[in-house]
Structure 1
Amino acid sequence: MNKLTLTAPAKLNLFLHINGRRSDGYHELETLFTLLDFGDELSFELTTEQEITLCGDTANIPTEDNLIYRAAKLLTPHKKSAHGVIIHIKKNLPMGGGVGGGSSDAATTLLALNKLWQCNLTIQELATLGLSLGADVPVFIEGKTALAQGVGEHLTPIEIAQKWYLVVAPNVHVSTAAIFTHPDLPRDTAKLESGWQLKNTRNDCQTLVKKLYPEVENTLSWLLKYAPSKMTGTGACCFAEFENREAALRVLEKLPSSWQGFVARNTSVSVCHQQLNTWQM
C-alpha cells in the first residue's frame, strides 16, 4: 500500500508545573500529558516524484514554515525509498489552543513517513528528531500518557483512569511565547515527590492567562457550572472531566455559539499508534 491515513491526536495537560528557568531561556517543568481519541486527520500518499507536497487545511502557513513539511524534510536523509509524498491535512483541532495540534501533526508525519519511506528509525530516534521541532513532539511519538519533565523531553509513562473530556476553545489565541516570557509567570513550583496525587496539582500558567485573556476566564467559569474546569498548556483551550460520554455531550449542546468544542476520551495508547499497528505496507 502506498497510502496511509492517520489521526494526529489532541493532548491535554492535566497539570503543568513550572519549576524554574534555565540559563538558555527554556523552562524546567513537570506536566502530565494524556492523549485523546480525537484529532486532525493526515493522509500520506507516495508519488514517483521526489517532492514533498502539502495540501488541505494549511491555514495559509508558508509551506517551509509548516511543522508537517519540516518534519518530512527532517526524515529525508534517512529515506530508503525513492518516493516523494503528498500529504493532505484535515484540521479538526483549534490552532493555538494548547491541545498540541501542530506538534501532533509533526509527530504523526514522522511516524507515517518512517514507515512509508522505510527509514526504520526507532521510536527514540524519532523522538530525538521531533524534539528539534517542539518540546511537545516526543510525547506524541511515544504515544502514551506520560509525566514529562525537563523541557518536556523526559517522559515517564503513567497509567491513569479513562475519562471523557469536554474540550472548549474560546474565540481567542494565546501566545505561548508571550506567556513563558511574562515576568508575572510563576517559576518556583517545587518538583514532585514520590506519591504525588493529581488532586494536589495545578496549571501554573492559568492565573496569568486568565488575567491577560478574560475570555479564558469566562470559559473556565462557564465549565465550572458543570464540572471542575482546567486550562490545558498555555491555553486557550479549557476542559472538564466527565464519567461518561452522554454527560459530556449534554454540556456540549449548551455551549455558547461563539466557542468551539468537542468531546473525547483519553487512551492508554494513542489512536495514531493503534492505526499504525494494524497497517501493512
Structure 2
Amino acid sequence: MKEAMLYEKLNDQKVKCSVCSHRCVIKKGNRGICRVRENQEGTLYALNYGKTAAANIDPIEKKPLYHFLPHTKAFSIGTEGCNMKCSWCQNWRISQSPEPDKAVNGRNLPPEDVVEQALNNNCESIAYTYTEPTIFLEYALDTMKIAHKKDLKNVWVSNGYMTKETLAEIIPYLDAANIDYKGPAELYEKYTGSRLEPIKENLKYLYQAGVHLEVTTLVIPDLNDKKDQLEEIAQFIADELGSNVAWHVSRFYPGWKMQDRSRTPIETIKMAKSIGEKAGLKYVHMGNV
C-alpha cells in the first residue's frame, strides 16, 4: 500500500482521484470504480502497490506490439483492478477483483525485483498489462524509473482511459504503448462504463509526444463489426495518428459475460483488414486467428 498520486482532498474527508478519466470523488472508507484506490481517513491509498496478480515473460508480439523491439521478450506484470467493466474481458478474474470490501490479492514484487527479474530473464522491456496500468500508476511509475536506469524499455498495454495528468507523469519513461480503440461511443457507455472521447484525445497526445503507438480493436459480432464502425476507427488512426501506426484487428472469443455470443467470423476480420488498408494504413494485423 502506498499513498496515491494525483488526488486532491475535499471537504468532509472526501478525495477526488485524477488518475483516470472517471475522476472519482471518494468518501471516507470507500474505494473508486477501480476497487484498488481507497480513501482512508481523508488520504487516498493505492492498495495494489507492489502486488502482482500476474507476472510472466512474453514475446513482445503478444502485447501486441509488432513494430517495437521485434523478436524480443517483455517481462509483463499486472495487478488486480480495472477502471472499465468490459463484458467480454478475458482477464476478468483479476481485472474485476477484488470485491469492494475485500483485500487486494497478489504476490509481493517490489519495483526493484520486477527490474531484476526482467534483466535475469534477458528481457529488453517491461510491459504493464493484463488489467489496466493506469490504476496501478504508482507501482508502474516507480518500476519504469528504475527500468530506464537499467536500459530497459517500458511498454503500456492500456484501455487509454487515463488523464492528461497521468500521461504527463509517465511519458518521460514510456517507450511504447498499445491502446484499445474498442468501437463507437455507445459501445463504451453500455458495455465498459466509460466514454470514448478521452481515449481519442489520449491517443493523439501519446502520438504527438513521440511514444511508439499501436492500436487494437477486438472485433465483436453485432457490437462493432459493421463496415461503417470499422471505417470510423481506421479513418481516425489514418487522419489523427498517421499511416505508420499499426492497427491490430482481433477476433473475439466468448468470455466472461459474453459466453452466448459466437466467435468473430474470419471473413469479418479480413474485411476489417481491408478497410484499414483502404484508409491508407500501412500495417494492419489480424489477431487471434
TM range (shorter): under 0.3
TM-score (norm 1): 0.27
- Larger proportion of strand: 1
TM-score (norm 2): 0.27
Asked which structure has the greater RCO (Cα within 8 Å, sep 6+), the reply is 1
